[in-house]
């Protein structure tokens, strides 16, 4: 079980992200889980924090933990949406939940597209002969992110005084190819471009592709255990054993700062290590 | 056929061969293939493929031309192309796969309009998945061996590198493909992998671009290109592509644009 940040460690700054509807996909563990905590402390009273993931149990536990942290003082409305974003019903359920939120008094809509999968990294590109497998991968990692974003932006349209922010949790893999990681690299490259187009189309939407660095999560575990490329597997293992992996908190904190400063160029790709 | 101007005894597969760039590619490449070569043309329209085959048969003899009517947007379509090459004589010097089949997607709409995952999935299935699966299938059918040069060309675009308003599907798909082929190049050093951006070609796709793009500035700039004769003929672009392939000096996995060459 991950450690909770203490009240002293969070909320060090007086700045905030406004009275917001904040949606986080893939919130049940790893980076999404940490972001839920970090964001909850930056949202003004009567904000709504919407946590989306496939596993209701983990989401409910996360909700409890966040509420316990505040004892209700923050008047944060935490909502859990159990949804599989690989499936059409999951995307629609998520968008519907956003639609049902009363946002007339809000000044910020913040969508964090974090849900993702690694794909089968034990195999190389030449083994991906089955379009069904590749389509499933893209359905979650590319289509799901586009359609959720589209649905949320349509449901909560532009209006004076409303800031709308969309974050794409990206990766170095969006920019650089890695052997045995064809699905993940392809998906991340597609997403980065997708969000660059969005930024070009909607100058009022604040779009950020944030590459969080190598995080100590289940995804990283999968990477170092399963990667088909020997060199890659070794370098992940040594990152782990030499303590070079980042905590989600450390990386999340940089993302929080980016959102608070709000001076990033919309559509840009920013990496933990550049900041 | 000299080594410099020809591709020797080859198996060439071209998707989206019924018109535009794919069709022109078939016509340009056929004369460069030695006797005993095979040219596999895949597209949805059997009629157009047969017409192309008829045009090709006026040229070199000793070239086997096979038409595969297949919708690469679905699994059966990809499989049909793979099946077609199964009984090709493996005694070839050169294998060339041109991943050319593509669609623009609905460029009359913006990102926020793509709320239907089915539509996005369908687009990616044709433009991303099929290119990966077909490439994998073809390469498994003709594995690495001495004396065989295997070339994989991804027909790319400036859109793989630069975002264009109202073109989210096309840009995302092209960005995905470029990365896909870069990973392939990393994994398989014996392959020759090229992401080739052909420039603005005078084709049906370009017509769709200038008549349907929602973004006014983009639509205008396409119209101007057309009106001022700045569009490239397919042949102009193909000549450069073939030159690059024959010189064979490009770094595998590179993105090369017509205007860079």
**Is B179 part of any domain?**
yes
Q: CATH 3.30.70.1290: does it fit domain A20-120+138-214+248-271?
A: no
Q: Can you tell me the distance from the alpha carbon of A97 to that of A80, in angstroms, rounded to the nearest whole number? A: 9
Q: How, if at all, do strands B10-15 and B254-257 pair?
A: unpaired
Residue range(s) defining the domain that contains residue B79: 10-201+234-257
User: What is the percentage of chain A residues whose pLDDT exceeds 90?
Assistant: 92
Going by C-alpha positions, the residue among B114, B221, B116, B225 that lies closest to residue A201 is B114
Domain of B30, CATH number, reads 3.40.50.720
* A–B CB contacts, 8 A cutoff, strictly below: 173
Query: Which chain A residue shows the shortest CA-CA distance from B163?
Result: A197
Smallest CA–CA distance, residue A135 to chain B, in Å, is 6
**Is B220 part of any domain?**
no
Percent of chain A as helix, strand, coil, to the nearest 5? 45, 15, 40
DSSP B204: H
Going by C-alpha positions, the residue among A230, A236, A234, A96 that lies closest to residue A155 is A96
The answer to whether residue B3 scores a pLDDT higher than 60 is no
Of B116, B139, B168, the CB nearest to A126: B139
Smallest CA–CA distance, residue B191 to chain A, in Å, is 12
CB contacts of B182 in chain A (<8 Å) are 177, 185
For chain A positions 153-192, those within 8 Å of chain B (CB to CB) are: 153-154, 174, 177-182, 185-192
Q: pLDDT (tens digit, 9 = 90+) per residue, B12-55?
A: 999 999 999 999 999 999 999 999 999 999 999 999 999 999 99
For residues B169 and B102, is the Cβ–Cβ distance under 8 A? no
For residues A43 and A107, is the Cβ–Cβ distance under 8 A? no
Of A130, A132, A193, the CB nearest to B171: A193
For residues B124 and B141, is the Cβ–Cβ distance under 8 A? no
Q: Can you tell me the distance from the alpha carbon of A55 to that of A90, in angstroms, rounded to the nearest whole number? A: 12
Q: For the complex shown, is ipTM > 0.95?
A: yes
Three-class SS state of A51: strand
Strand order in the sheet with A268-271: A77-82, A48-53, A20-25, A108-113, A163-169, A205-211, A268-271
Please tell me if residue A268 touches chain B, with a CB cutoff of 8 Å: no
The answer to whether residue A188 scores a pLDDT higher than 50 is yes
The answer to whether residue A113 scores a pLDDT higher than 60 is yes
How many domains, in total, are found in chain B?
Answer: 1
Query: Which chain B residue shows the shortest CA-CA distance from A166?
Result: B112
How high is the pLDDT of residue B134?
A: 98
Q: pLDDT (tens digit, 9 = 90+) per residue, B87-96?
A: 898 899 999 9
A132: alpha, beta or left? (left if phi > 0; alpha if psi -120 to 50):
alpha
Confidence of residue A2 (pLDDT cuts 50, 70, 90): low
How high is the pLDDT of residue B36?
A: 93
Confidence of residue B1 (pLDDT cuts 50, 70, 90): very low
Q: Can you tell me the distance from the alpha carbon of B140 to that of B184, in angstroms, rounded to the nearest whole number? A: 13
Query: Which chain A residue shows the shortest CA-CA distance from B169?
Result: A194
What phi, psi does A7 have (nearest 5°)?
A: -60, -30
Q: Can you tell me the distance from the alpha carbon of B178 to that of B112, in angstroms, rounded to the nearest whole number? A: 24
CB contacts of A144 in chain B (<8 Å) are 117
CB contacts of A194 in chain B (<8 Å) are 111, 168, 171-172
**Is B123 part of any domain?**
yes
Report the alpha-carbon angle A142-A145-A150, nearest 5: 125
For residue B171, what are its two tokens? 């840009």
- Helical (H) or strand (E) element with A220: helix A218-226
Please give the model's pTM, rounded to 2 decimal places: 0.96
**Is B229 part of any domain?**
no
The answer to whether residue A10 scores a pLDDT higher than 90 is no
Query: Which chain B residue shows the shortest CA-CA distance from A144?
Result: B117
């Amino acid at each position: 079980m991950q450690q909770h940040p203490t009240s002293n460690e969070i909320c060090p700054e007086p700045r905030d992200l406004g009275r917001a509807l904040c949606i986080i996909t893939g919130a049940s563990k790893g980076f999404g889980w940490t972001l839920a905590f970090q964001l909850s402390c930056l949202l003004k009273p009567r904000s709504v924090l919407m946590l989306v993931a496939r596993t209701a149990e983990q989401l409910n536990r996360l909700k409890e933990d966040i509420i316990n942290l505040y004892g209700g003082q923050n008047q944060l409305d935490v909502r859990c949406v159990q949804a599989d974003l690989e499936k059409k019903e999951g995307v629609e359920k998520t968008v519907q939940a956003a639609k049902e939120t009363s946002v007339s008094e809000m000044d910020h809509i913040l969508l964090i597209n974090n849900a993702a999968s690694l794909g089968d990294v034990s195999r190389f590109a030449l083994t991906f002969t089955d379009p069904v497998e590749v389509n499933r991968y893209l359905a979650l990692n590319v289509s799901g992110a586009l359609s959720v974003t589209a649905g949320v932006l349509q449901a909560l349209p532009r209006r004076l005084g409303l800031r709308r922010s969309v974050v794409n949790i990206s990766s170095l893999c969006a920019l650089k190819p890695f052997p045995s990681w064809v699905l993940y690299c392809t998906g991340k490259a597609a997403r980065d471009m997708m969000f660059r187009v969005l930024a070009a189309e909607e100058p009022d939407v604040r779009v950020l592709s944030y590459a969080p660095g190598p995080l100590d999560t289940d995804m990283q575990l999968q990477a170092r255990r399963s990667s088909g490329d020997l060199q890659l597997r070794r370098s992940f293992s040594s990152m782990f054993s030499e303590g070079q992996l980042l905590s989600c908190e450390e990386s999340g904190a940089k993302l929080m700062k980016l959102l608070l400063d709000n001076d990033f160029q919309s559509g840009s790709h920013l990496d933990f290590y550049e900041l | 056929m000299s080594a410099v101007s020809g591709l020797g005894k080859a198996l060439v597969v071209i998707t989206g061969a019924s018109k535009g760039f794919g069709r022109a590619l078939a016509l340009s490449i056929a004369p460069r293939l030695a006797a005993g070569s095979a040219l596999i043309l895949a597209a949805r329209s059997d009629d157009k493929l047969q017409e192309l085959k008829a045009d090709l048969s006026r040229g070199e003899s000793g070239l086997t031309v096979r038409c595969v009517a297949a919708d690469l947007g679905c699994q059966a379509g990809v499989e049909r192309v793979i099946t077609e090459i199964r009984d090709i004589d493996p005694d070839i010097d050169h294998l060339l796969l041109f991943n050319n089949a593509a669609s623009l997607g609905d460029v009359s709409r913006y990102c926020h309009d793509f709320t239907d995952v089915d539509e996005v999935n369908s687009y990616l299935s044709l433009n991303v998945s099929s290119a990966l699966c077909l490439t994998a299938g073809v390469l498994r059918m003709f594995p690495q061996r001495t004396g065989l040069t295997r070339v994989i060309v991804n027909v790319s675009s400036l859109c793989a590198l630069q975002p264009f308003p109202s073109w989210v599907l096309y840009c995302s798909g092209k960005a995905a493909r470029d990365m896909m082929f870069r990973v392939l190049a990393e994994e398989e050093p014996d392959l020759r992998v090229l992401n080739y951006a052909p420039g603005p070609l005078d084709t049906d796709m370009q017509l769709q671009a200038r008549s349907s793009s929602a973004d006014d500035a983009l639509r205008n700039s396409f119209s101007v290109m057309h009106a001022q004769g700045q569009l490239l003929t397919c042949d102009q672009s193909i000549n450069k592509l073939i030159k690059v392939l024959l010189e064979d000096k490009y770094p595998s996995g590179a993105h090369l644009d017509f205007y860079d060459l």
